[in-house]
Structure 1
């Protein structure tokens, strides 16, 4: 007997069983499938990746096939129904009636004793009644063939299949196990054999790549929202510049085998974008306001880092402490809570450590110089004011000239009128 333990699937409702389940499919018979499965299981045990392997295809069920000689049976007047009914009665164990004895009902079971049923040689000694009423041993009209057959014959997508289940060693991930089986199948599988996945490994193969697209989509949305808020494409970049370090910290426990890539770890990674972005927002927003008040970029970010240090550390501490119940939880769903808790706690801790250094450094290189922008704006406003003053002066001079011409014309007309008189 073999016994082993493993964590249940992180996603409720998914197929149970060990985390790695390789399904080998083929159109060939189960004997050839068993040989290929044995080679795969041997390679898996020798790889050092798995603490336990097991398969559902095992030839360990004894089977007896009875071949009837129809000519002999017909000559003795024995039909197939006679043979079938006799064997069913002697071996079947079905009761045919009830009888009462001392106030109790008992079943009547016409079956040979157990010692005459466990030995295949006794099968040939069973008596079959002929048409004439005589009893002849079964060996006169039949022969038996003993063989060992699989305990179960399974199909996957209408193909003969066998499933190899495996549990990776602590520190080994489902991704490493999947990569090992993929390489083995690509190089050593015979023609006519293919493979698929079940359980957690199937979820990993089908949804593992979706994490990248989900993460990119969330990152783009947050970047665009910050760009609209700050009216700048550089400030959101500074805010999110420490995000890769946070993701590195979150993936570290996954690489150590403490958790696997599943829906809960994906939620934790997406959540980290907002949590780490909050640290950058606190520093960048404060530094921008200090620049508008006249401070330089270096002075502004130094003051912002010092002033916002306590809120950042308290936010990180509160978040990490909030994950502790998830990390130490027990009972149903504990694995799911642990996965999301370990990702957020590790990513938040390492991401905050790097944010305190990376964000100020990137701000000094990438942030807008609000002093220069302010000086440029003031210069443009002064230039615009000067141009407005010049236009106003020219307009006044033109009005004065017009008034003088009108006065001269009036005086001339008045003189001519006086001379005429």
Structure 2
């Protein structure tokens, strides 16, 4: 898995470099943001070392995402300086002016992304412990890249960038295409924010006013945003939900449960049968069995596969194929397990549903049998099992104390004889060839197979008389529970089960809750344990983290912009990216799990960067004296190119994750598709929605902005006005 992530990092670097070169078209310009990647990654490794983090799949996954992130700030800085050079400024002056214009936006974007990941560091439970390194590694990479963009990037721009008076054909073609896109976008945006209804001759004035409001083009954009929010509300409940994707970990575990009271030989015979089954699969290169653990009636068989590149089928596919073969075995219950991916117990099954009561175990067992009957009707729940069994056969040996006393035999002697001869007693060790061996006293296996074998046990009584045990004890057969479990200080039983590949843990728990509500009577309650409990807890924790991320971003933006309106406008881009992410997950067969949810949290920070660029530059231009619509269209058009570049870098940087295969790929693809889908559709909608919302909510005048037009703004006479006041629209 680590090896594959290294490969993904290399692929992401190559694709990001390609995007940069296509937009900038010169090696001298392209090298500037590309240098940001190794500098930021090295700085991030330094921060990880200071924090005591290790190189693992999660920290490396953070670095894969960081590749697309760390070039963003450098691209924005570079593009702004490059534009001034193309307009005729010398490199040094362009570097100073470009850095001043874009510095605030870079600081804001860096603070925003760090604010997104801050709540992840405080997530409780196993999920929090696992992803704290992911979150802090990614936040560290963003901080380093922001520092590089404000220092190293402008310096390199002044030294490497030059005006190209004679561009080649490729340069001219790309520039013509990009300029055409910006111009067409600017024209479309101006139409969206200014187009109004043209009244018909003779139309009543009231009708004109109503249609003038309703049929403005920008209300169409508002409708698109509301439709996106509605689509999220409709799609979200239909998504599969689970703790983490089932990963192909190169191993399948088969659990074997023999009937209670089965001997070790009985269990071993069926374990060997499962080994034989695995030998027909060319994908398995090693098979071994562990018999008699944790009880003599239980065993496990491990099938280890060949390398991922040497087989076409996944362990999940092979486990589904093995299940009916296991079901055909008479005399035992066997089921295959693909190990969980977040470090849970190797034997742990995803569904772990607990029923609690203060009632008797007999009544509890009857209720559980009703639950199992209902579960059997659900094809998505496979091989359900319970930990309450009241039919374990046993022999009860009752000493007749009066007879034993008359014959001079103590109860302790009887108990010791039975324990040693039937159960075995480790009496000593002996050493041979530097090895130690246990010496176990026990009757041979053939002498302890039936109740009648107890009659052949003798003990010594008074005067060393040899007395048969049958003269001292009564033996009767009975049944008893194998174990009596408690959960939360109440009597309990756990129902565990595996799930089919297309049936999620969220669906299974919903079904179990509904079944319990129908079957359980008063005095019974339910709870979750294991993976199921962790899944339910992580849902609540990550929902809180998501809300906190939105709150943190809003507060950071409010502090930076000294306004509550601008952050609100910027954050309206979030639902637009969410719908793209959910559609990508749905299309790729993904689910809502800890990986995809962390991808969604990451997406919040990424998509708000576009709004920051547009709103911040619009405010700058308005402060220089431009009217709101003119400033908005100019800012959006000029910032479209860096937005396209950063989106292309982020999408192509995440594409190797989305298309990953091999060890651990199932989890990486979830984050990859969230970023690819969310950034693609989110960017397409954001460049229209954010400017439109700005015209609806933003201030008509920038407070404290004097309207002195800079000398380098052609086409505007110099004027001076007193600072304008806040004027709400």
TM-score, scaled relative to structure 1: 0.71
- Residues 54-87 of structure 1, C-alpha deviations (whole Å, 9 max, x = no match): 3334457432211223334334443313322332
> Offset of 1:151 from its aligned partner?
4.3
Instruction: State yes or no: 1:36 paired with 2:367.
Output: yes
Query: Does the CA contact (< 8 Å) of 1:63 and 1:149 recur in 2?
Result: yes
Deviations 1:328-376 (A, max 9, x none): 2654x66654554444344333322332342233234333345999899
Q: What's the offset of the Cα at 1:120?
A: 1.8
The farther-off stretch of 370-379 and 336-345 is 370-379
Query: Per the alignment, do residues 226 and 371 of structure 1 end up closer, same or farther by CA in structure 2, a change over 3 Å counting?
Result: closer
* 1:290-301 map, 5 Å: 290-291=621-622, 297-301=628-632
The equivalences for 1:245-284 within 5 A come to: 245-251=576-582, 258-262=590-594, 264-284=595-615
Classify 1:7/1:292 alpha carbon distance in 2 versus 1 (closer, same or farther; 3 Å).
farther
User: Does 1:62 pair with 2:396?
Assistant: no
**1:21-420 paired onto structure 2 within 5 Å:** 21-58=352-389, 61-94=392-425, 111-131=442-462, 135-251=466-582, 258-262=590-594, 264-291=595-622, 297-327=628-658, 328=660, 330-331=662-663, 337-370=668-701, 381=722
The whole-number CA distance in structure 2 between the counterparts of 1:178 and 1:351 is 32
CA contact (8 A) 1:227 1:236 kept: yes
Which region of structure 1 is more displaced relative to structure 2, 63-72 or 373-382? 373-382
1:190 Cα shift? 3.5
Unaligned runs of 5+ residues in structure 1 are: 384-421
Displacement after TM superposition at 1:170 (Å): 3.6
Indicate if the aligned counterparts of 2:404 and 2:472 stay in contact, CA closer than 8 A.
yes
Mapped partners of 2:574, 2:438: distance in 1: 76
Contact preservation (8 Å) 1:171, 1:255: no
Question: Does the 8 Å CA contact 1:67/1:143 hold for their aligned counterparts?
Answer: yes
User: Residue 219 of structure 1: CA displacement?
Assistant: 1.8
For residue 222 of structure 1, report the CA deviation from its aligned partner.
Answer: 2.0
Q: Supply the distance in 1 between the matched residues of 2:526 and 2:720 (Cα, whole angstroms).
A: 72
Instruction: Check the 8 A contact 1:9/1:200 in 2, yes or no.
Output: no
Q: SS state of the match for residue 409, structure 2?
A: coil
SS at match of 1:209: helix
In 2, distance between residues paired with 1:260 and 1:199?
A: 19
Q: Structure 2: how far apart are the matches of 1:40 and 1:285?
A: 60
How big is the shift at 1:276? 0.7
Q: Report how many aligned residue pairs link the two structures.
A: 376
**Residues 1:99 and 1:274: Cα distance change in structure 2 (over 3 Å):** closer
For the aligned residue pairs, the C-alpha RMSD in angstroms reads: 4.2
Further displaced range: 313-322 or 342-351: 342-351
1:19 aligns with 2:350: yes
Greater Rg, structure 1 or structure 2? 1
Cα distance 1:14–1:280, how it changes in 2: closer, same or farther (>3 A)?
farther
Q: Which residue of 2 aligns with 1:4?
A: 336
Aligned position for 1:417: none
Give distance in 2, aligned partners of 1:58 and 1:255: 41
The 3-state SS of whatever aligns with 1:308 is helix
In structure 2, what is the equivalent of residue 416 of structure 1? none
Q: 1:259 to 1:365 in 2, by over 3 A?
A: same
Mark the CA change 1:372 to 1:226 in structure 2 (over 3 Å): closer, same or farther: closer
SS at match of 2:680: helix
Q: Is the 8 A contact 2:420 2:441 kept in 1?
A: yes
Distance 2:706 2:440 in 1: 107
Q: Deviations over 1:110-157 (max 9, x none)?
A: 643322211123224434444365555433433323344444444434
Question: How far is 1:275 from its partner?
Answer: 0.6
Instruction: Write the distance in 1 (CA, Å) between the matches of 2:525 and 2:379.
Output: 24
SS at match of 2:678: helix
Matched residues in 2 for 1:334 and 1:6: separation?
15
Work out the CA distance in 1 between the residues paired with 2:370 and 2:675.
41
For residues 189 and 96 of structure 1, the distance between their equivalents in structure 2, rounded to whole angstroms, comes to 51
CA pair 149-321 structure 1, distance change in 2 beyond 3 A: farther
Query: What CA distance in whole angstroms lies between the structure 1 residues aligned with 2:505 and 2:374?
Result: 17
Q: CA–CA distance in 2 between the matches of 1:146 and 1:342?
A: 61
The separation in 2 between residues aligned to 1:98 and 1:164, in whole angstroms, is 43
Q: Which stretch shifts more, 115-124 or 42-51? A: 42-51
Q: Distance in 2 between matches of 1:115 and 1:37?
A: 38
Question: What secondary structure, in the 3-state scheme, does the structure 1 residue paired with 2:550 have?
Answer: helix
**Counterpart secondary structure, 1:46:** coil
Cα distance, 1:97–1:168 mapped onto 2, change above 3 Å: closer
